[in-house]
Amino acid sequence: MTINNKGKCIIFSAPSGAGKTTIVHHLLEQKLGLKFSVSATSRDPRPQEIDGEDYYFLGIEGFKKKIADEAFVEWEEVYSNNFYGTLKSEMQRIWGLGKTVIFDVDVVGGLNLKKQFQDEAFAVFVQPPSYEELEKRLRGRSTESEDKINQRMEKAHKELAFASEFDTVLINDDLDDACRKAELLVSQFLNNK
């Protein structure tokens, strides 16, 4: 499946716990013409997560079949047998509505999308104020085991090294301020062309 009638896209990436999802939700509430790209995953839904709204929950075999069918714009095995990706059909759906696609993806996924869409994409790296603050936020969620937190912190350490490869770095030390800055950055990109 190829992608026809490409539009613009906004990419928000960050280590887990940096606040990218909160910022993306803020942007979706503004009148910017954005529509959230629902990612696909092989993992099971968490409580309160809805298939087709939070993620497309495909299971491991279903995800691997979509890979074989070349149904993804990008995909990644984030942890062993834990896949995430962007379906081509999801982007087509959003562009078909005349909207700009906004992504909330991990760092590797964000870089892959930027490489693919180049000037039609605006890639923002959301950076926590410190490594220690990131760990505090992850622990504050109370949704992860100690092993998962350690895994995420190890991954975050590697991800922070990629910040300079994004179009801009947005430091989230004050959430309201980060949301305002994100709104301004996205508006400038959308109005520039």
Tokens of 110: 């964000």
SS3 18: coil
With a pLDDT cut of 70, the percent of the chain lying above it is 96
Mean pLDDT, range 175-188, rounded to an integer? 96
Asked if pLDDT for residue 68 goes beyond 50, the answer is yes
Q: Which residue has the tokens 């770095």?
A: 169
Amino acid letter, 6: K
Domains and CATH numbers, the chain: 9-186 (3.40.50.300)
Residues 177 and 164: their CA atoms lie apart, in Å, by 21
Predicted confidence at residue 1, as pLDDT, reads 40
pLDDT tens digits, one per residue of 120-136: 999 999 998 777 877 77
Whether residue 123 contacts residue 113, with contact meaning beta carbons closer than 8 Å, is answered with yes
In angstroms, how far is the first alpha carbon of the chain from the final one? 28
